[in-house]
Amino acid sequence: LFLDDTPTTAPLAPLNKAGFANVALWGGVVVLGNAPTNNAAKAGVGYGKTIVEGLTVPGFPAANATYGGIEPHDNSGSLKFVSIRHAGDELGDGNELNGLSLGGVGDGTTIENIDVYCNFDDGVEWFGGTVNPKYLVAFGGTDDEFDTDFGFAGNVQFAFGLRDMNQWDPTGESNGFESDNDASATSTDQPWTKAQFSNVTLVGPQAYMPFLNLWKDAAVVLTDSGGLQEETTALGVPCI
């Protein structure tokens, strides 16, 4: 990872020329593990395994971008008290890097007290796995605050999402939660995406929504995915 904040060469400025927060200054954080997904052997790299989006670029070894497996208690280490700022990227349609991407991360992993600030695409996205994060904040992203896919079955507790009125996804829909079973939105593959979110607050920009914005829902749940939102509050969003 190489970041250059030298003012005279390639500054990683927090604001763009219009005075709005910059996004996509670097790729973000990607954590990959061996916990279950619903990908079967679709990618030809082993049962439940596939290649994470955002790292399918020429020259990047597929082995280093592969996640998933059959170990629900897999341990990918510890990520605590980390602020991820001005990150994310879009390589193509459905091929993005989020602030924090978690692919097949097992419940032996500790993820706590994470802040994703002014990020392109999602704040946090889970691709399968069973990890149980706590204390997450997503502020000023362009797409979803929290996105679950490919059979994610963890428990997320204490999360907060806050919108910046000047940031939204220019090519899609910006939601608080989004839950998919896979990218097709019609999948019946198992295990289904069934995450549980508890003690969540989502604050949208409804009172200050500029013309032609693409903010949509507090939560979007697609075919054969879902989960439970307990003690969750959403305000300032177009619809629930």
Instruction: Please state the pTM of the whole predicted model.
Output: 0.82
pLDDT at 222 over 60: no
Residue 121, pLDDT score: 86
Mean pLDDT, range 54-60, rounded to an integer: 77
Phi, psi dihedral angles at 207 (to 5 degrees): -70, -15
Tell me the CB-side half-sphere exposure of residue 238, using CA atoms within 13 A: 12
- Reference 154, options 170, 136, 167; nearest CA is 136
* pLDDT value for 1: 39
For residue 72, whether the previous peptide bond is cis, meaning omega lies within 30 degrees of 0, is: no
Query: Helix, strand or coil for residue 68?
Result: coil
- 201, two tokens: 């607050």
Give which of 155, 211, 220, 218 is closest to 185, Cα–Cα. Answer: 220
DSSP for 29-43, please give it.
Answer: EEEE-----S-TTTT
